[in-house]
Structure 1
Amino acid sequence: MDLELNPEQRDVAAAFEQVLERESSAERVRAAEDAGYDPALWKVLSAMGAVGVAVPEAVGGSGKGVLELGLLAESLGRHLACAPLVEAATAAMLLADARGQDATLSEALAGGAPIVFCPRPAVDGSVILVPGGGGAQAVVALDADHLVLARGAPPKAQGDLGFLACADRPLRGAAIERTVVARGEHARRLWRIALGRWRLGTAATLVGVAEQALATAVRYAKAREQFGVPIGSFQAIQHLLAQIVMAVDGARLLVRETSWRHDTTAAEWRDAADIAFAHAAETAVRAAEACLHVHGGYGYTLEYDAQLYLRRAKALQLQGGDPEVIWEAIGAATMRRMH
């Protein structure tokens, strides 16, 4: 297994990083913070074909893989982008897999308001706190034994939830245009695959968040002086940041290996996606907390960026499920296979 990026993948990652540096600056993020959605940024990402990066060429996508989507997601995390790319790309892949949804898939790839995937099943005909739901024209979600696409006017994003444009979305009702994409076991299978892809893309985003939180902490540790020397010269700070470096590198390798398994159709990719998400989520929160620790009291003030990384990391962690619960499920599944 060779996880070294090839020249084309490096070029894709570099081009996307340049665009995010320009289009998702700290000022742009703060301007979009309340809504959690930057329409101008979304227009740029759509024009680049980012939504269809992992959709087959035969149905209008770029024909790349989840690995390439992960490279884009890492940049999204580093720049705290206010755009639901992972949710939209996951929805597009699901629509491609479902077949018979060509018109909707073309619409999803065309660059209008996003169509997003919800990583939680519906309860009483609604899905709660859908990431990107505050700016989406439609949501793809599992409603009992039906996989549905529900169109409706996007509501206002709810509260301060990591500026992810989270919003509740009804899947039924007079104001909702509801399309059944799949039924029964077929619907549940498609949703489980889509959830794994979403967790992989979100894990890559979390790697980017962790990487930038670490870089922010290092810059501050080099600049901030105490007792006449930079605080980065203190052994306690060095050990703390070194531990984060190792965790971030491990999370990135795990995400990329799992993405490679997905793209080469290895059967075990789905369980590995849960592991990658749980590890990346814990790592991102640890990195963001370390960033705040290095900044001291300043880290909690709105004027500094450190608090932005913690809010995004915690929100993404909660969207994908409590890592402790995921670890328990992984352990239980492993024990069943052993017996």
Structure 2
Amino acid sequence: MDLELTADQRDVAEAFARVFARDSSAERVRAAEASGFDPALWKALAGMGAVGLTVPAGAGGSGGGFVELALVAEAAGRRLACVPLVEAAVAARLLADAGVADVAAEAAGGERVVVFAARPAVAGVARLVPAGAVADAVLALDGDDLVLAAGAPGQPVRDLGFQAAADRPLRGDGVESRVVASGAEAGELWTRSRDRWRLATAAACAGMAAEALDVAVRYAAQREQFGVPIGSFQALQQPLADAAMAADGAVLVAREAAWRHDNGLDSWPAAAAVAFAHAAESAVRCAELCLHVHGGYGYTLEYDAQLYLRRAKATRLGAGDPDLLWEQIGATAIGKGAP
């Protein structure tokens, strides 16, 4: 296994890091916080081909791999980007895999906001879909059918990581549904996409963890008590060191899962589950420590620490109960199930 980035991959990472630093500043995030969606950032990313990064060139994409998508997602996570990059990229690739060429090309180019629902629908409703309040259409598993449902955006759920999350009905009045696949094919397509969502979201969480830790370290270096920076106190140095190991590990397991995927290894779905579980947990851990380092200031809206904690907690719940996922990972490790 070689996780060393190629020159082209480093260029991708650096280019998108610059874009997010410019177009997803703390001020821009706060401006988009109420809606959870930044149209200008979405337009910029679509223009750079981010949404169609893993879609084959013949289907309107760039033909890149999931390592490249993970690098872009990591940069997006660092800057708390208010766009459904991962959900849209996974949806575009799913549509291409399913042979829905017309919608795949539109989704890959960002002309339509089509997002993937990482949990099966319940009673014909996809629950708490990121960007469900702004998306033109949602791809979700409804029973034995994989459905592309277009309709009016849902009502956003407040205080859920400013991700424009909303419930989306997949059938009924005002909804135009299209069955993309049925039966075993639908289950296979959705499960593969869910695993891809996990590995790309793991990368976003790794970016969140790294940046939340950086925010904490910068504050600890400048805030003084008893005439010295608080970062000189061992009571802060130890937890910061532990969090740094968790954050570095999150980056590594996310990139490893993407590498396994792009190299066609059968182990990539299990690696994606581990990557998501660990990276999401690490993002929450680093964000909580960031609040702790800031003391009472961390709980105020004027400081950015609370933004990272809110996004991290919401993202961790995006695929359901985190403890259940860890149980499934353990069962897989001893040969009793699949995550």
TM-score (norm 1): 0.98
Amino acid aligned to 2:70: G
* Residues 214-233 of structure 1 deviation map (CA, whole Å, 9 limit, x = unaligned): 00000000000001100000
Are 2:30 and 1:4 aligned?
A: no
Where does 1:241-280 land on structure 2 (aligned, <5 Å)?
241-280=240-279
Question: Secondary structure of the residue that 2:27 maps to in structure 1?
Answer: helix
| Counterpart contact for 2:53–2:68, Cα < 8 Å | yes
Are 2:78 and 1:78 aligned?
A: yes
* Residues 229-278 of structure 1 deviation map (CA, whole Å, 9 limit, x = unaligned): 00000011111111111111111111111100000110110111111100
| Counterpart contact for 2:106–2:112, Cα < 8 Å | no
Q: Percent identity?
A: 62
Amino acid aligned to 1:30: R
Where does 1:82-231 land on structure 2 (aligned, <5 Å)?
82-99=82-99, 101-231=100-230
- Alpha-carbon distance, 1:111 to partner: 2.3
| Counterpart contact for 2:61–2:109, Cα < 8 Å | no
Are 2:323 and 1:324 aligned?
A: yes
Question: Secondary structure of the residue that 2:89 maps to in structure 1?
Answer: helix
* Residues 100-121 of structure 1 deviation map (CA, whole Å, 9 limit, x = unaligned): x111111112322410000011
Instruction: Provide the residue aligned with 1:34 in structure 2.
Output: 34
Q: Structure 1: which 5+ runs fail to align?
A: none
Structure 1: distance between partners of 2:62 and 2:134: 24
Structure 2: distance between partners of 1:155 and 1:169: 6
Are 2:57 and 1:57 aligned?
A: yes
Structure 1: distance between partners of 2:22 and 2:299: 26
Amino acid aligned to 1:156: Q
* Residues 167-194 of structure 1 deviation map (CA, whole Å, 9 limit, x = unaligned): 1100001211100000001100110000
Structure 2: distance between partners of 1:206 and 1:38: 19
Structure 2: distance between partners of 1:325 and 1:155: 28
Amino acid aligned to 1:118: A
Structure 2: distance between partners of 1:337 and 1:157: 38
| Counterpart contact for 1:35–1:156, Cα < 8 Å | no
| Counterpart contact for 2:55–2:108, Cα < 8 Å | no
Amino acid aligned to 1:49: G
Question: Secondary structure of the residue that 2:282 maps to in structure 1?
Answer: helix
| Counterpart contact for 1:119–1:198, Cα < 8 Å | yes
Question: How many residue pairs were aligned?
Answer: 337
Structure 2: distance between partners of 1:283 and 1:235: 21
Structure 2: distance between partners of 1:162 and 1:109: 25
Structure 1: distance between partners of 2:145 and 2:292: 46
Structure 2: distance between partners of 1:205 and 1:85: 10
Amino acid aligned to 1:122: A
Amino acid aligned to 1:199: R
| Counterpart contact for 1:34–1:160, Cα < 8 Å | no
| Counterpart contact for 2:215–2:305, Cα < 8 Å | yes
* Residues 59-99 of structure 1 deviation map (CA, whole Å, 9 limit, x = unaligned): 22111111100000011111000000100000011111111
- Alpha-carbon distance, 1:332 to partner: 1.6
Structure 1: distance between partners of 2:307 and 2:110: 28
Are 2:238 and 1:239 aligned?
A: yes
Q: Structure 2: which 5+ runs fail to align?
A: none
| Counterpart contact for 1:137–1:152, Cα < 8 Å | yes
Where does 1:16-35 land on structure 2 (aligned, <5 Å)?
16-35=16-35
Structure 2: distance between partners of 1:110 and 1:276: 28
Amino acid aligned to 2:306: Q
Question: Secondary structure of the residue that 1:336 maps to in structure 2?
Answer: coil
Amino acid aligned to 2:38: D
Amino acid aligned to 1:53: L
Instruction: Provide the residue aligned with 1:45 in structure 2.
Output: 45
- Alpha-carbon distance, 1:337 to partner: 5.4
* Residues 3-49 of structure 1 deviation map (CA, whole Å, 9 limit, x = unaligned): 01111100111010111111101011000001101111111111111
- Alpha-carbon distance, 1:324 to partner: 1.4
Task: Please provide the CA RMSD for this pair.
Answer: 1.1
Structure 1: distance between partners of 2:232 and 2:141: 52
Amino acid aligned to 1:86: V
